[in-house]
């Protein structure tokens, strides 16, 4: 069996909508610096989940609906952005209360 090379992929968070937490999975084709961040619909940075160099493979991060200060954010729509080289990938999720 021939293996296909990995591609940078950002999956939909699970579950979505969510309360109290959700898991974000992504695949890296090579070692790279990864930033996975959560943004409000107004574009404000809410939380940085990952900001480090990671090796190739499937990775995941969990978000519990809090900001970088540890405070609960209001229910609503949020965006998560994966940067690991180029291009940047963005997906949408909904936090319920």
Residue 38: CB atoms within 10 Å? 24
**Is position 20 within any domain?**
yes
Q: Is residue 31 within 8 Å of residue 57, measured between CB atoms? A: no
**Is position 15 within any domain?**
yes
Omega before residue 17 within 30° of 0, cis: yes
pLDDT recorded at residue 40: 98
pLDDT recorded at residue 76: 97
As a whole number of angstroms, the distance between CA 81 and CA 10 comes to 9
Omega before residue 27 within 30° of 0, cis: no
Per-residue pLDDT tens, the chain, 97 aa: give them: 455 557 899 999 999 999 999 999 999 999 999 999 999 999 999 999 999 999 999 999 999 999 999 999 999 999 999 999 888 999 999 999 8
**Is position 17 within any domain?**
yes
CATH code where residue 29 lies: 2.60.40.4070
pLDDT recorded at residue 85: 83
pLDDT recorded at residue 7: 86
Tally of residues, the chain? 97
**Tally of domains in the chain:** 1
């Amino acid at each position: 069996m021939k293996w296909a090379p990995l591609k940078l992929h950002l999956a939909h968070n699970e579950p979505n909508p969510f309360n109290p937490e959700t898991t974000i999975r992504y695949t890296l084709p090579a070692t790279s610096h990864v930033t996975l961040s959560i943004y409000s619909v107004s574009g404000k940075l809410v939380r940085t989940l990952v900001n480090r160099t990671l090796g190739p493979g499937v990775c995941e991060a969990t978000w519990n609906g809090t900001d970088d200060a540890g405070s609960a954010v209001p229910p609503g729509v949020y965006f998560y952005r994966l940067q690991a080289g180029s291009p940047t990938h963005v997906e949408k999720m909904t936090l319920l209360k």
